[in-house]
Structure 1
């Protein structure tokens, strides 16, 4: 089987890496890919942008691709699945209608309210004046969200009314025509990535991301600075509730709207101190960097799961099989991220890190001859597995310490909540 993976981040490197472990997969193509996928045995990069739908369809025909796996949200929101399905090409990822669950927070909140899914209270606004009046009325802390794709950075948790009103101005100035303002939920976050074939939905192991740039979960939000799996807060009891109260009602509500949702349904949840889960947001694709810790623990061949979703027979498969132990991923970022940063810095030490037993997933990298250079804000995702979190965390930071590039920044406290819970 020949598979085309669309995207150029750490998530796509992890997807190609996992798919190539299957004896059924002969070759992977990554479009456009990165330095890591360029070096991955059995993988070939194709320099086409993820939003060039016609060229993607053309390549799928030229290379006789058997399956397309869409990594990022942008091509899904533009309708890449619809375009490929027109040509009879098997594609894993929801249609443009289904992708609205991520591309429009307002649309998603309306859908969840119809389905009876527990969510934060809030409203959508098309002008800053009424949004600010709502904020003044409800006070802070309060959350302001861009209604659209913002690369994981369109959510502002405002501690004061003034900060929230400033966020409103900022988002409208950035060109967003619709924003959502909602209550600030308190508790612990957990990410549940689930697979759906439009009828059946199956959750993967729970993961926990570290969104803030600073240690101790401080500073602005990022696309994710590290993650671990399985998150202890995602108990079997909680997962059963999420399946029953969140995932299944959402897939049913999508189906009621005539949307055949075949892809990843990723629920970002806040679990209150008394154990009540509420949905913060939905994403329509694999999480990044959650994928980098979930897939290493997955025993069931990924290609089998994805094909079962595409062919709407997920319910016929046996329960998913998982390796024992834990996985931790630490993101090495460019200095200045999530603000301004420079590219083109030479990266060294990856071979030494991998010799210790860690896996280094490339995100913002590119090959320049025989040199590996930085090419993004989040550069690498260093992942280690262990029998418990202490072991995995020790292992991952040993790997991180081998890697160097100018301006390199990473958090030194990834997995702190898991360790606290163990103790």
Structure 2
């Protein structure tokens, strides 16, 4: 097989690393890729949003499977474009990708499907959003409707904070067109969990639970980022409850989309809040999370290429997801200042030393190869991921590996996995 992975993050490095292990795979191309993906396959200088160029490349190189990593190409319709050209693609069509591309669309689908979620209002007028906030009070969550790289969400503890978030998104346009419309919803109390499933329209194969860490600083302080670390499994969502989650939040959405003529194929990722009243969906993503993908693929014991081909062909019922029993934990090493302004061009060393410690893989995100060296070029630079018999073991090994990596102005959280340890994992 010849596979084209679309994207440039740590998730795409993890996908390339795992897909390369398949005996079915001959060649892997990554567009545009990063310094880590260059070690697993061939980087191609095509933007993840340039669908015509991606389709041309897929046809010219006789690609057998396209694997979109990030949300942008999915929302733009890469599945539709590839299928029209006769190229298999593991991901949802543009209609299904709206579950992530539009917070308002996702809420409307959840309401139609009977999926539990927070009470909400949708507004394309700032004055109306402000009136809703003043009427309902705080705490509330204000979300930019469109794509904002995981950062267009503000948990406002006061009315003033919520009003400021509306002004930031809708008036000052901090997230561009993504903030033309906002969703304002009730703030939910509880602990978050990530629940990802592979789908082919009807069949659902659950991946193990995971927990992401969005805030930039320890103890969930500071602004939201694209994710500062993750681990799997998450004790807040044990394996004994996976079937319940599928029936509660995954199958109803699949049935609703079938009813609308758009069966969902790909990764359906439910961001859950485990509240005292039961699980509630915070949001849906339509692809692997980053950094959840890294620990999840560390635990996958099967042939990812074969699984994805089966999914693209509607044959997931013929396959399984064999998993390692160990816990996996990943710590994101970012550039100091992220998600605000940060330095670039920092030389990275010590990756081989980190990986020599044991079952450790350093997945690269915001990196490039320059004169034979790894150099930073983004905010989230690496995800240092380790396996351990227990969560404590995985956490200890991951941080031991982090200490081996050398990069000026590095920043990382020191408490990835702490919530799971408090639950006695």
Structure 1 residue 14: Cα displacement: 0.2
Alignment partner, residue 65 of structure 1 = 63
Structure 1 residue 203: Cα displacement: 1.3
Work out the CA distance in 2 between the residues paired with 1:169 and 1:193: 33
Alignment partner, residue 79 of structure 1 = 77
Alignment partner, residue 143 of structure 1 = 141
Structure 1 residue 25: Cα displacement: 0.8
Structure 1 residue 138: Cα displacement: 1.0
- The runs of 5 or more residues in structure 2 that have no matched partner are none
Alignment partner, residue 325 of structure 1 = 326
Structure 1 residue 237: Cα displacement: 3.8
Structure 1 residue 306: Cα displacement: 0.7
Alignment partner, residue 410 of structure 1 = 412
The answer to whether the aligner puts 1:249 opposite 2:220 as a matched pair is no
Alignment partner, residue 91 of structure 1 = 89
Work out the CA distance in 1 between the residues paired with 2:408 and 2:84: 46
Alignment partner, residue 341 of structure 1 = 342
Work out the CA distance in 2 between the residues paired with 1:410 and 1:188: 21
For residues 339-396 of structure 1, the C-alpha deviation after alignment (integer angstroms, 9 at most, x for no partner) is 1112111111111111112100000000112121101010000000000011111100
Question: Alignment partner for residue 44 of structure 2, among 31, 46, 54?
Answer: 46
1:5-404 superposed matches below 5 A: 5-40=5-40, 43-172=41-170, 173-174=172-173, 175=176, 176-273=179-276, 276-317=278-319, 319-357=320-358, 358-404=360-406
For residues 107-134 of structure 1, the C-alpha deviation after alignment (integer angstroms, 9 at most, x for no partner) is 1100111000001001100111111111
Work out the CA distance in 1 between the residues paired with 2:11 and 2:102: 22
Work out the CA distance in 1 between the residues paired with 2:239 and 2:38: 39
Matched-pair contact (CA < 8 Å) for 1:365–1:376: yes
Matched-pair contact (CA < 8 Å) for 1:201–1:251: no
For residues 175-195 of structure 1, the C-alpha deviation after alignment (integer angstroms, 9 at most, x for no partner) is 321100000000010001111
- The runs of 5 or more residues in structure 1 that have no matched partner are none
Structure 1 residue 305: Cα displacement: 1.3
Task: Indicate the SS of the match to 2:117.
Answer: coil
Work out the CA distance in 2 between the residues paired with 1:320 and 1:351: 29
Work out the CA distance in 2 between the residues paired with 1:331 and 1:94: 28
For residues 79-116 of structure 1, the C-alpha deviation after alignment (integer angstroms, 9 at most, x for no partner) is 11111111100001111111100000101100111000
Structure 1 residue 320: Cα displacement: 2.2
Q: For the aligned residues, what is the CA RMSD?
A: 1.0
Aligned pairs, number:
419
Structure 1 residue 418: Cα displacement: 1.1
Task: Indicate the SS of the match to 2:308.
Answer: helix
Which stretch shifts more, 219-228 or 295-304?
Answer: 295-304
Matched-pair contact (CA < 8 Å) for 2:208–2:239: no
Matched-pair contact (CA < 8 Å) for 2:35–2:374: yes
Q: TM-score, normalized by length of structure 2?
A: 0.97
Structure 1 residue 146: Cα displacement: 0.3
Matched-pair contact (CA < 8 Å) for 2:209–2:239: no
Structure 1 residue 316: Cα displacement: 2.5
Structure 1 residue 198: Cα displacement: 0.8
